[in-house]
Copies of this chain bind each other. A is one copy, B any other.
Amino acid sequence: MNEPKTELPQGTLDLLVLQVAANGPIHGYGIAQRIKQISRDVLQVPQGSLYPALHRLENRKLLAAEWKPSDTGRDARFYRLTPKGRARLQEQTESWARLAEAVGLILGTAGGGAR
Q: Identify which of B12, B98, B102 contacts A103 (C-beta below 8 A).
A: B12
Q: Is A39 a contact of B105 with CB atoms below 8 Å?
A: yes
Residues of B within 8 A of A19 (CB): 106-107, 109-110
A76 within 8 A of B: no
Q: For window 46-93 of chain A, which residues contact chain B by CB distance below 8 Å?
A: 93
CA distance in complex: A11, B6 (Å): 11
What copy number does this chain have within its complex? Answer: 2
Q: Is B109 a contact of A38 with CB atoms below 8 Å?
A: yes
Min CB distance A63 to B, Å, is 16
How extensive is the interface on chain A, given as a class?
35 or more
With a 10 A CB-CB cut-off, give which of A6, A94, A102, A113 has the most chain B CB atoms.
A102
Q: Identify which of B10, B16, B23 contacts A9 (C-beta below 8 A).
A: B10
Write the residues of chain A forming the contact surface with B, with a CB cutoff of 8 angstroms.
4, 6-7, 9-12, 15-16, 19-20, 22-23, 35, 38-40, 42-43, 93-96, 98-107, 109-110, 113
